[in-house]
Amino acid sequence: MRRAGRPSSTLWLKSVVPTADLRSPIPRSYYRGTLGWLDLSTFPMKTLLRGLSVGLALAFCSPSAVRGIDRTPARVSGDVLLSTMQRELQRAQTNLGQLNPAPYFTSYSVYDEEGTVVVAGLGSLLNSTQFHRRMGEVTMRVGSAALDNTHQESRPSGMSSGLVPLQDDPDAAARVLWQLTYQEYRQAAQTYLNVKTAAAVRTQEEDTSADFAEAKPEVHLDYAMPAFHLDRKVWEDRVRRYSSNFRKYPEIYSSAVMVIGQKTQMRFVSTAGAQLATPGTLIRLMIEAETRADDGMELLRVETFQADTPDGLPSEAEIAARIDKMASDLKALRAAPTAEPFDGPALLSGRAAAVFFHEVLGHRLEGHRQRGDQEGQTFTKKINQQVLPQFLSVIDDPTQRSLNGMDLGGWYRYDDEGVRAQRVDVIKDGILRNFLMSRMPITGFAQSNGHGRAQAGLMATGRQGNLIVSSTHTAKDSEMRQKLIDEIKKQGKPYGLYFEDIEGGFTLTTRSLPQSFQILPVLVWKVYPDGRPDELVRGVDIVGTPLAALNRIEITGEKTEVFNGVCGAESGSVPVSAAAPAMLFSEMEVQKRAHSRVRPPILPPPTWDKSAAVGLRPSDFGHLASGSSIGGQQ
Amino acid sequence: MIRSRYRLALLTTVLLATVSGLVAQNSASADDPVLRAMLAEMQRSKSQLKLADVQAPYYLDYRLMDVDLYMAEAAFGAVRTSLRTRVRMLRIVVRVGDYKQDSYYGPGEGVVDVGPLDDDETGLRHQLWLGTDRAYKAASEALTAKQSELKKYSVDQQVDDFAHASPVQWVTPLTRLDFFPEPWLATLEEASGLYKSDPQVQSLNASLRFSVTNRYFVNSEGAVVRTADSSYQVFIGGYTQAADGMRLDRSHGYQVRQMKDLPTKTQVLSRTRELLTSLKELREAPVSEEEYRGPVLLSADAAAGVMSELVGPNLLGNRPMLGQNARTTGDWANNYKSRVLPDFLSVLDDPTLSTFGGHSLLGNYEVDDEGVKASRVSLIEKGQLVSYLLSRAPIRDFPNSNGHGRASVTGPPTSSLGNLIVQSSDALSDDELKKKLVDACKQRNLPYGYFVGTLGPRLTPRLLYRISTKDGHEELVRGAVFGDLDTRALRNNVVAAGKEFDSEDRLDPIPQSVVSPALLFDELEVKRGDVAKQKLPEYPPPAGTE
């Protein structure tokens, strides 16, 4: 099988659940944080940093990169901030507890995030920012666990958030927490009254579960932040150098290289007695390149590398080689024919299968999707039923740091609701056993299993961590291509498809829209049964409905591949991993991708314009003349 | 002043008028890789950019704003934000058609992108190349869309889409943001820490924003402009609640163009103490009565706020929506040559001034963001509206720019204020104004008149005093709003103006100052605001460790 088993497979997942836009421009929060005065609401930052946006969202908004580190805990003595949080929480409980209605649960979280973001394009710096912030959250539940202010669509009323002082100033921190607390109380108490009335007025909901699950109050204080320093100046130069590799490729219109290094110290205290402090780090290097085919189709390649420390990132030579590969892929894609709608056998590489499972299965296993009035609830009533072929099992295990030597991005020790991360056997031998649970109970599942995740400022919901698919019906990876050809022949199809790489995808889980998903592959090959060489095609989207698609898996490869990414949903962006072996599908439906019809640039790139002075026509530039749309007539 | 220094140090030499010769021959632009890249790409686009069967552009411009920014904020004595960032934003406009009718419409109004921070010609030209291509394609489609939209309307009087302007070459030295943040962070912490002196203050923040912007502009007509400006802001704000729950806000902003004009730490602290004192006084002040109709005196500070809100926007020569026949989008679209203010008041806008009456002005610039030289414009003469502030988008009766086309970092240039100055031909001293207020109240048998010290957002009085008719005694009141403070009241009810000036200064999104004397109204409605009162906090603030 060609190009199977790539050594390092990282990209990001772009999931939109239920209906948001996958390709949102740079999150406004990023610019609010840095350049509050820039009104970017109409900012047409088209392509250059589109992909990077996800990473920026992570850097600036996501506390969920918080992971415990396996080291001896440092001495706890004198965590001024934690003791201030504890003291202020105590005061809030004492004072607000006397009111009617009173909160029955309150927690404070503070995410101390420190880091650097450096972005460059074509050898020149585009942005270089060092940031440090402490984001404080007050979570409050008024009423009772059976019915509280966070019920159903009122969930956002459970949290107020704001910045807390960067230094350990107990008076200032206490004041800020006090302000957030009484504001949150007003919001929560008001919402609770509305919720109570609505519960009395409306018909009974399908799922009558309580609104909040009991959880063991964990006490775990860990301040052992890995000692690394992401030297900004060093990385500025490095990212400049990396990005200048793209200067060699006139057919790449836009490109960027970004590195983010972040340390997050999370602190959490609750009125139930939990007391947590966990350190975490995240280093991420992203490379994006984009071009346009002559028919206007935008073609994008993205590579992501993730590690716990800067040393874990690949060498310069490795990155240069990867950039060369991205450029040659894009060049090949520009010249590739567009695919036709197709329904037939398909082989997905391990990382393609991993994204497929994240989108098609993973999101539908998130606990809170089993009870919303708006949710499609594909799997809600399928507990203990066969939902996958018997040879497949799926776990989500945030406690696992690596798999086959590859770091897993969805690793953490405690979730954002203070619950210890757990391995969950969601599907065992094809049978659905469990869901990914936050502290929002659903019928039959009253407890959290440590999957309540969110970015700072948003209420946690059940989310994926490390979703790992395993198989007992396997063939050697080298034989998978032959299996595909056999299947093509068996079905009498003219060809099958091999999905080598996937850019991301999204899925709709609401009732008001068709239950469907769309996966956006970037490298797709037509595989012919008659020995002709594989043919690269572009403009393919995998489409379909979840249950049907999942049951057409015939056999898998042996080697599990890992896809590290950032996943976006209601509770914000969180880092995740998905891992799966290559998979052969007896039937896969693809459709033509809708694409822009904007022509490629009229003039050649400036550095490739040999006419520097005046007079020459753009059509004099052979390297772009393969495109037929250059119309330099004057 | 920073501006006059530039003028002395001006590097500008005569750039060759022919664009084709600009690339390498001008020394100032040749030394600057940013200008060099912009000119080279301009040259290439101008001479070569064309799609078959589509008109070539008749005009292009490139703008780059290089912003270096430092922001910090402290609350309750501790810093919460401290961030330095630099960004270069590009804006590219390509116009297809001609000056009479062109593609500047919807998506044809230009594209914005991030530019490289390094002075690297390759990277910058690459971004300009992509942006120009995108802008040209969008412009071509926009022209067709505009023409078909225009078919829906009958237009009384054809106004050109784009004004002719002679190309300006103006290159001044670059500026840098250079300072030590630590002393400033200490000032912010100390100022915001003063909340401890009053346990009832619910919030006290101090923040600053220092920024330096180097602006680059070139167009296909031969304009080459590089200017620099800096701005330094320090802001203090706090609020408290009265016993009845009414929220009371006070704030103070220092906004200056040069670092040396910033207040000292001692000044910031004493100003913060004053704010705290006035919050306490407001908390204890009586609530205003339900309704008052009578004479009101606005301090120069308050009057500048009113002028900025009610007069400034109506002097902008903004074109109306496509197909509409109005002259501008403001209230005074149809008041050209009619009386809009009392005849003793005149208004002008002069971006060439850097100070007025001892006040440092923010709206000082030499060349606007369309490459047009700034000029002083007389707008209202003896109460009569005689002109508008104009960019290169002409309006009826005003075919040319008067150098007021200005832009935010990413936005399009639009007609904007520079330094708007309101003057009176018959100015009174503060004492005379106050006496006149009291006399007017006496005449109407009113026990007191109102004096407005300062305004908050939406022209809401923050410091409002009753002036006793009997003995001139001042009493602070809270909770009042104006009932009918509008342009009609400005035209009909202003009866006197003061000698002293104060200014309303804004840096966002476009730096500007509005200067006004105190104004006496013979009648205004002052009534009790009907905002819902919030509850007091459910429990007391933390005691603190000291």
Quick check: A598 contacting B, CB < 8 Å?
A: yes
A148 token code pair: 């509280």
What pairs with residue A520 in β-bridges? A504
Which chain A residue's Cα is nearest to B46? A614
pLDDT reading at B13 higher than 50: no
Query: What is the structure's pLDDT at B544?
Result: 76
Which chain B residue's Cα is nearest to A618? B48
The closest of B27, B77, B4 to B542, measured between CA atoms, is B77
Q: Where are the domains of chain B?
A: 2-234, 286-546
Chain B residues with CB under 8 Å of A44 CB are: 111-112
Give dist(CA A249, CA A326) in Å, integer.
10
Quick check: A37 contacting B, CB < 8 Å?
A: yes
* Mean pLDDT, range B420-438, rounded to an integer: 96
Quick check: A123 contacting B, CB < 8 Å?
A: yes
pLDDT confidence band for B64 (50 / 70 / 90): very high
Integer-rounded Cα radius of gyration of chain B: 26
Quick check: A633 contacting B, CB < 8 Å?
A: yes
Terminal Cα-to-Cα distance of chain B (whole angstroms)? 45
Which chain A residue's Cα is nearest to B141? A598
For A72-158, where are the alpha helices, taking DSSP H only? 80-96
CB contact under 8 A, B538 and A182: yes
Q: Which of B56, B67, B122 sits opposite A247 (nearest CB)?
A: B122
Which chain A residue's Cα is nearest to B55? A634
Burial of B244 (0-12, 13-18, 19+ CB in 10 A): exposed
Report the percent of chain B where pLDDT is more than 90.
84
CB contact under 8 A, A172 and B541: no
Looking at every residue in chain B, the average pLDDT score rounds to: 91
Identity of residue B46: K
Concatenating the DSSP letter of every residue in A169-182 gives: -HHHHHHHHHHHHH
Tell me the whole-structure pTM to 2 decimals: 0.86
Q: Please count the other Cβ atoms lying within 10 Å of the Cβ belonging to residue A633.
A: 13
Quick check: A247 contacting B, CB < 8 Å?
A: yes
Separation in Å, CA of B23 to nearest CA in chain A:
9
Query: What is the structure's pLDDT at A65?
Result: 31
Second-level CATH architecture of B2-234: 2-Layer Sandwich (3.30)
Quick check: B186 contacting A, CB < 8 Å?
A: no
CB contact under 8 A, A603 and B75: no
Give dist(CA A559, CA A579) in Å, integer.
10
In chain B, residues 69-128 whose CB comes closer than 8 Å to chain A: 69, 71, 73-87, 89, 111-118, 120, 122-128
Neighbour-count burial for A68-103, b at 16+ CB within 10 Å, e otherwise: bbeeeeeeeeebebbebbebbbebbbebbeeeebeb
Give dist(CA B130, CA A601) in Å, integer.
7
Q: Which of B114, B124, B538 sits opposite A95 (nearest CB)?
A: B538
DSSP A224: -
The closest of A502, A486, A503, A526 to A349, measured between CA atoms, is A502
For B250-349, where are the alpha helices, taking DSSP H only? 265-284, 300-306
Peptide bond into B181 cis (omega under 30): no
How many CA within 13 A on the CB side of residue A143? 25
Quick check: B450 contacting A, CB < 8 Å?
A: no
Chain A residues with CB under 8 Å of B409 CB are: 37-38
Q: List per-block mean pLDDT (blocks of 10 residues) for chain A, which spans 634 residues.
A: 30 30 26 27 32 31 32 56 96 96 97 93 91 95 96 93 94 96 96 94 86 95 85 92 93 92 94 95 90 91 85 92 95 94 94 90 90 77 93 97 89 95 97 96 94 93 96 96 96 95 71 65 93 93 82 96 87 91 94 85 85 38 27 27
B147 token code pair: 């023409």
In chain A, residues 150-169 whose CB comes closer than 8 Å to chain B: 163-167, 169
Token pair 């007609």 in the structure block, residue: B415
CB contact under 8 A, A603 and B137: no
What are the CA-CA distances from residue B432 to residues A395, B427, B428, B470, B518 (Å)?
A: 84, 10, 6, 16, 11
Give dist(CA B125, CA A604) in Å, integer.
11
pLDDT reading at B402 higher than 50: yes
B110 conformational bin, left if phi > 0, alpha if psi -120 to 50, beta if neither? left
Burial of B27 (0-12, 13-18, 19+ CB in 10 A): exposed
> How many contacts does A have with B, using Cβ atoms within 8 A?
200
Chain B residues with CB under 8 Å of A609 CB are: 44
Query: What is the structure's pLDDT at B546?
Result: 58
Residue A51 phi, psi dihedral angles, 5° rounding: -70, -35
* Model confidence pLDDT, tens digit, residues B276-316: 999 999 999 999 999 999 999 999 999 999 999 999 999 99
Burial of B338 (0-12, 13-18, 19+ CB in 10 A): exposed
CB contact under 8 A, B409 and A38: yes
Query: What is the structure's pLDDT at A324?
Result: 95
Give dist(CA A157, CA A176) in Å, integer.
19
Which chain A residue's Cα is nearest to B47? A614
Give dist(CA A17, CA A463) in Å, integer.
11
Give dist(CA A472, CA B304) in Å, integer.
78
Token pair 């056998």 in the structure block, residue: A345
Query: What is the structure's pLDDT at A506?
Result: 67
Identity of residue B504: E
Q: Which of B20, B117, B202 sits opposite A124 (nearest CB)?
A: B117
Quick check: B24 contacting A, CB < 8 Å?
A: no
DSSP B432: H
Chain A residues with CB under 8 Å of B112 CB are: 43-45
Longest dimension (CA), chain B: 83
Quick check: A43 contacting B, CB < 8 Å?
A: yes
Please tell me whether residue B368 adopts helix, strand or coil conformation: coil
What are the CA-CA distances from residue A431 to residues A345, A550, A587, B319 (Å)?
A: 24, 12, 21, 66
Please tell me whether residue B246 adopts helix, strand or coil conformation: coil
Quick check: B243 contacting A, CB < 8 Å?
A: no
CB contact under 8 A, B126 and A607: yes
Quick check: B495 contacting A, CB < 8 Å?
A: no
Rounded to two decimals, the ipTM of the complex is: 0.86
What pairs with residue A286 in β-bridges? A258, A304
For A226-309, where are the alpha helices, taking DSSP H only? 232-244
Chain B residues with CB under 8 Å of A123 CB are: 118, 120, 122-123
Query: What is the structure's pLDDT at A77?
Result: 57
What pairs with residue B237 in β-bridges? B205, B251
Residue A178 phi, psi dihedral angles, 5° rounding: -60, -45
CB contact under 8 A, B546 and A171: yes
Chain B residues with CB under 8 Å of A632 CB are: 48, 50
Separation in Å, CA of B268 to nearest CA in chain A:
20
Identity of residue B292: Y
For A8-51, where are the alpha helices, taking DSSP H only? 28-34
CB contact under 8 A, B116 and A88: no
Residue B125 phi, psi dihedral angles, 5° rounding: -60, -35
Concatenating the DSSP letter of every residue in A290-317 gives: EEE-TTS-EEEEEEEEEESSGGGSPPHH
Please tell me whether residue B455 adopts helix, strand or coil conformation: strand
